[in-house]
Each structure stands twice: as C-alpha cells, then as structure tokens.
Structure 1
C-alpha cells in the first residue's frame, strides 16, 4: 500500500488571472482584484486521480484547506498530521507538514503550489536531512522547476504508479523583477522526484533563437487587419512582434492591440475581456523546454478569453526543436481537449511547422 503525504498552498496561483504574475506578498492585492483560489480545485483533481489509480493508498495531510479538506472531497479518510498556525497559511506551515510526512516515512509527498512552494518543500527536507520523493501539482503562476507533473491528474497517477526516482532542480524567480519584465532564476535546491518521462515537466529554457523575420511578418499582417483585436501573450517571441509594431508592450504581461493602438497594457482577465471585439486573435509562444502554450505564466489568458479568440502560435525553429511537443493546462478540461491535436506553428516569414498539442 502506497503512503502519500499531501500539502496544499491554498493561495498559490491567485495572482495569475488578475495579472499580478505571482502571489508572494500580493495576496490582498489579488483579492482586491477579484482573484479566487485555484490550488484547492487542482489538489482535488490530483487526489481524485490518485484514488482512481491507487484506491487503497493511505493519505496523510495537513489540516483544513492545506490538504485534509481536499483529500476528503476526493474520497479519502486522511490522517491529519498538523494544523495551520493561524488564519492565513504560511511557508512555516508547509515546512511543518513536510517534516511531519518525512518523520512518518511516507512514500511520496504530493505538494500543490508553484515554485515558492517547491522551495519551501526542498528547504524542509534539507533541514530534516530527509530524502523523500516529492512531486508538484502545478498551481502557481510561475512553474519553472522540473519537479512538477504536467497536469494535476497526471500528478495523481504518477504518485500512484512510479517505481523509480531521480534528482531534479528546484528553481524560483525574483517576483518583483519578474513584474518589471526581467526573469532572474535562482537554484533553490535539489530533490528526489519520481521518474515519469514526459509526465514531469522540464526546467524552463530561456534562449531559443532569432525571431526577427517572424516578428516583422506578423506585425505587417497585424497592421493590415483592420478591426481585428490582437491579444499579445507574454514572452520574448511575441514581444518581438510588439517591438516591430512600435508599441510599448509589457515584457512579461498580456497586452491588447487594435488598429494601431495599445488598448490594454499588462492586463488581467477582466481588462482583456472588456477590450475584445467581434474578431479576436490570441498570439502566444510556448515556453522553451516545457512546451506550455497556456497555463504557465499566462493565466490572464483564461478560458473565457481563449474561447472568444482564434489562437495563433509563434516560435523559432530552435525553440520547437528543444520542446518536442506543445502542452495546454488552462484549468478547463473541455477547452484543453479542444486545443489538443496537431496545430500549425508559425516559425518564419512564410514557414510553418506542424506540432502536436498533448
């Protein structure tokens, strides 16, 4: 019988849809903008998958919304190993949960959050001098570390079925610098993770080749598209398109452009939806190495935005060579399924490549 420790960071990812690019130190700001928790739902999805693949698994969880509630919702009767110290959960609570799981000798720790939560897990294991396999359920805004399953349901299955482990890196970024358009990654630790092939995501790769000709061609077409609203996703590839258009777009945010005017700069979901017109196009580029088109660092491009728009994917040939396949994780399984399959990705002024979205 497999023993699984479950800890949830209930505020993880709240800042994404409202355009805050992270939740560290920004919980109240996220709530003021109307953000809602997403980690509990993703925890339930992972645990429902765990129960499907290992119905006899023994689940240990931290109290309340840090794991116990979600485990019960998924049909488990968890052993509660501790309770949050206060009304607002903290990194100290996450670390206490991890230490309790390590003391009890669980087979794997399933944590729900983003890179900050992964850092807390790695720190707690290092402090306890414990080598327990861990697996992340992606729920944060930024998920750069190579310790996360590609989707919540996959995390549950991998936790139930894995047989071997390997070491992987935990990385985090400076959120204040990220909000200013700069990515500063930092190695935070090394942990043991289940061996699961492509079911566990790779670390983000930053350098992905020249896109100058691609950007110039796309910008030219945008100028000729009267009345069409373009939603410009984050990242350097789409950023090159904005530069070619001559607009001051946000480097890592989402912008809206129509007929020579930047209607929204660094907007959240509500602002983007309000700016959409009758004909809308979302321009996105996959994350290098990981392949995510939606669901990592661009949660502002919500299902509501995507469903009202045509999706066009841009990338350099080198980025596609490094990536292999494309992925989506919008939080809406029906939408994800509609986006899967073969898709044309524009790679140059005239060139395209067929890529599979999985």
Structure 2
C-alpha cells in the first residue's frame, strides 16, 4: 500500500501574524519578520503518528527535506523519498512530486497545507488518485481536508485497512489572499478531487450566511451590546455575524481578522496573536466568535490569531458563541469543532456551550472530535 505524502512547510505561517496566508515570497518574508514559525511540519507529524498505528505494511512515498522526509523521520517512520527538491521549495515542487507519486501508483496522496496547496495538487491529480488534506493553512474552505491532523491519519487508515470509505467528489475552493487583506472575500470553485469520505473524519464545505439571517444577526448583536460589561476587553473574531456587533456600535471593523473593544470603543483593529496575548494577560477579557457554517470550527479556522495561548489566558468560561439557527442547522450531526494545534487547549474546549441564537435566546451545542 503506497501512501504519497507532500508537505507545504510554510502553510499557515501568515495566520497568527495577521497576514491572511503565505502566498508569495514577499508575504512569506513579512511573516518571518513578524516572528511566524512553521506549524505545518508539526501538524503533519501528528498525522503520521496515527498512521504508525496501522497494522499492515505500508510504504510512504514522500519528498526530501521538510516537504515530508523530515516529518516522517521525526515520527519514527522511514519513508521512500521519490522526489528531491533543489533546496528552496515552491508550488512547482508540490506539483512535480504529485506527478511522480501518480506514476508510482500511489493508493492515496496525503498533503499538508491550505486551499492554495489543494489547488496545486488538483492541477496535477484531478480525479486520478484519491486525496486527503491535512489542514495546516490559513485558508481551508475546500472540502478535501480532514477536520484535524489526527483525523487525516484516521481517514487514511480507514480507507486502506477497512475499505469502508466511499470515494466522493469534493470541492477545491480558494479565495484571493490579496483581496482578503483589504476585506474582500472572493471564493472560487476550481474543481473536484476524489476523497475517501467519512463524515466523522472529513470536514464539510464552508457555507455562508443567507439574506434571511440579517434580522436575526441584528437582534443577536443588540443583545451582545446591551449586555457588555464595563472595563472588559472583548476580542471579536472574524466573520459577518460577529462584525454586526461593531456595526451596531458604529465602529470600524476587520471582516477577516479579530478586533478588540473596550467600554464600547475600538482599541485595536485587525489584531495579531502577539497583540491578543498582551491584551489577554492578567486582564478581564471575553472572546466573541461564531462557528464556521457547514464546518463548525470555533477555533483553528478563520481566527488563527486567537491562538491556544490567547484562549489559555482568557479561559474557556469567557468564550461567547453566537450563531443564527440556520447556521446551527448546518452543523447537526457534526457539532462544534476546535483545531488550535495544541492538544491540551483542544481538550479544554471540548465542552457544551450556550450559543446565542437570537435576543436572549440560547441553544446548547457541544464541541467534540
């Protein structure tokens, strides 16, 4: 059983520092200068440790260096290196490695990255070989990703060991990073790839709000504003549902990044992780977020700046979740999800939450694996 593994080692580096992604050399340079660290290798290792539990012989075909080889060795797996990079890696290495894995008849190709990496894989693979994405990027709208790195490993084992998974055509989506940085969301469907689908392991396609939700969102925002406590910092996460709060207060806002309110005044716009760690340390702070429609993520998607360190400072008891009934309906059978990259934080987040669904109305939903 041949498993292809391709890692985009820089995927996700721009998220916590507020750059909305790492597409392009200039943005990568800015991310590094801002103190960003590589997270994709660490998350890939988590997936590989699950694969190591596989009882039958498997062969992992991968790329040299930190595009797969280093992660395998760190996880205690000796891989077969089938493609060697020239040192500095790029999307061309991803595409050439995928071609080589197809030629060597990979049973499934597992890749670590975000929507940009999914597009690179799609350009070569199409529907030739099943794929499973390890979510390590900032933009993860596509439906080809597992819900978290460990579930990516479980999905691979399920497919190879039991053959219980049904191959489904799943969407490859991507949005314009440059537009994102200016508050414009433009998502585009690029195509479909075949994914061993099991709803307990594979995430759904991100769904947006509809026009009928506007009145409910307005009432939710009024309830939040009416009940804001004095001398308390409010970290308001990304999204149209949460931004209604700042609109009600006549404040500027960042559609795709967190803003901070204190005594109903905007004190920080488009905050990065460092800003939020500083604000949340030894202060009275609450986090207001809304789950991603169709996926259920409250952390680990959409709000990378609100990291595990920020959540640890604030405390899970100070998390306020808001959502329309329609959004929660899209999550039935899935529940809420968290993928912060820190197991101890994800464990703390696995609890029941009272979600505000209208003015003074709540619905209880749990966060689970």
Equivalent of 1:150 in 147, 150, 159: 147
1:286-343 residue CA offsets vs partner (Å, 9 max, x unmatched)? 0010100000121100111111221111101111011221100011111111111321
Q: How does 1:173-322 map to 2 (within 5 A)?
A: 173-208=175-210, 209-210=213-214, 211-222=217-228, 225-276=229-280, 278-309=283-314, 310-322=318-330
Supply the distance in 2 between the matched residues of 1:265 and 1:315 (Cα, whole angstroms): 22
Partner of residue 110, structure 2:
110
The Cα offsets for residues 61-100 of structure 1, whole Å up to 9 and x where unpaired, read as: 0110000110111121111011123x32101000011111
In 1, Cα distance between equivalents of 2:311 and 2:248: 24
**Residue 275 of structure 1: how far off its partner (Å):** 2.4
Q: Which runs of 4+ in 1 moved over 6 A?
A: none
2:352 corresponds to which residue?
342
Q: CA deviation at 1:151?
A: 0.7
Residue in 1 aligned with 2:54? 53
- Following TM superposition, by how much is the alpha carbon of 1:55 offset from its aligned partner in structure 2, in angstroms? 5.8
Contact 1:286 1:293 in 2 (8 A): yes
Give runs of aligned pairs for residues 322-341 of structure 1, distance below 5 A.
322-324=330-332, 325-341=335-351
The count of residues paired between Structure 1 and Structure 2 equals 351
CA distance in 2, matches of 1:195, 1:216: 40
Q: Which residue of 1 aligns with 2:5?
A: 6
Give distance in 1, aligned partners of 2:170 and 2:322.
29
8 Å CA contact retained: 2:5, 2:111? yes
Partners of 1:305 and 1:291 in 2: how far apart? 20
2:279 and 2:4 mapped to 1: Cα distance? 44
Structure 2 gap segments, 5+ residues each: none
Deviation at 1:242, TM superposition (A): 1.0
Q: Are 2:72 and 1:41 equivalent residues in the alignment?
A: no
What is the distance in 2 between the residues matched to 1:227 and 1:132?
A: 55
What is the rounded CA distance, in whole Å, between the counterparts of 2:244 and 2:55 in structure 1? 47
Q: Counterpart of 2:219 in 1: which secondary structure?
A: helix
Deviation of 1:179 after TM superposition, in Å, equals: 1.4
- Structure 2 counterpart SS, 1:136: strand
- TM-score, normalized by length of structure 2? 0.93
Query: Do 1:219 and 1:242's aligned partners in 2 also have CA atoms closer than 8 Å?
Result: no
Paired with 2:207 and 2:234, the residues of 1 have a C-alpha distance of: 26
Find the aligned partners of 1:331 and 1:153 in 2 and give their Cα distance. 10
Shift of 1:278: 1.7
2-structure distance, mates of 1:274, 1:334: 21
For structure 1, the residue ranges without an aligned partner over 5 or more in a row are none
